[in-house]
């Protein structure tokens, strides 16, 4: 289980996550953010606990995504399946997501909500994942965003699954990062 406490002048976040069954306990003060976190956890099969508050909605959503991405990076098994993809219909909306959790942070996608587009970008970059999200069709913003979060969750579920080998031609990447002494 990964636990992170993140505090800035704008937000205070306490988060715990582990691969599991999708159990959640989420309280951010933003009902839609709570709904999207619960949805992501359910579809990704993550047990997630989040307590957060912030000065502005943008700061809260962004900082929770940053914190979740950092925590998920720790939860990646060394022999993760690495890749995952899904297409999710939700009423009139249809959204695809594809993810590579191989350590190359990148986000491509357009959503009808800049805030949740930024959420997915912040999550991907801090997880060290490449995430592509494509809205195939849809009219209702809520349905499109929720379908994108569900598709991302399903893709993460696949990518974070324990595999039998390191799924890379270069093998596993080992880093030793130490603070410099001056």
pLDDT band at 177 (very low <50, low <70, confident <90, very high): low
As a whole number of angstroms, the distance between CA 71 and CA 16 comes to 7
Q: How many CB atoms lie within 10 A of CB 29?
A: 12
Predicted structure pTM score: 0.92
Nearest to 76 by CA among 40, 101, 98: 101
Tokens of residue 18, six digits: 């582990």
Where in the chain are the domains?
Answer: 2-159
Kindly report, residue by residue over 133-170, the tens digit of the pLDDT. Answer: 999 999 999 999 999 999 999 999 999 999 886 655 55
The CATH number corresponding to 2-159 among 3.20.20.10, 3.20.20.70, 3.30.230.40, 3.40.630.30 equals 3.30.230.40
List CB contacts of 69: < 8 A, sequence separation 6 or more: 122, 123, 124, 125, 126, 127, 128, 129
How far apart, in whole angstroms, are the C-alpha atoms of residue 31 and residue 35?
6
């Amino acid at each position: 289980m990964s636990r992170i406490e993140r505090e800035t002048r704008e937000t205070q976040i306490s988060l715990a996550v582990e691969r599991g069954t999708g159990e959640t306990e989420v309280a951010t003060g933003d009902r839609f953010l709570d709904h999207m976190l619960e949805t992501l956890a359910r579809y990704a099969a993550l047990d997630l606990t989040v307590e957060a508050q912030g000065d502005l909605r943008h700061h809260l959503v962004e900082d929770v995504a940053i914190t979740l991405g950092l925590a998920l990076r720790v939860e990646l098994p060394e022999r993760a399946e690495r890749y995952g993809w899904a297409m999710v219909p939700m009423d009139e909306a249809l959204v695809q997501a594809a993810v590579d959790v191989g350590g190359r942070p990148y986000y491509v996608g357009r959503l009808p909500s800049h805030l949740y587009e930024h959420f997915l970008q912040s999550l991907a970059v801090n997880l060290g994942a490449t995430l592509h999200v494509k809205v195939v069709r849809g009219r209702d913003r809520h349905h499109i965003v929720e379908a994108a979060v569900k598709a991302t969750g399903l893709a993460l579920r696949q990518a974070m699954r324990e595999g039998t080998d390191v799924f890379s031609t270069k093998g596993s990447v080992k880093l030793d990062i130490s603070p410099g002494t001056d």
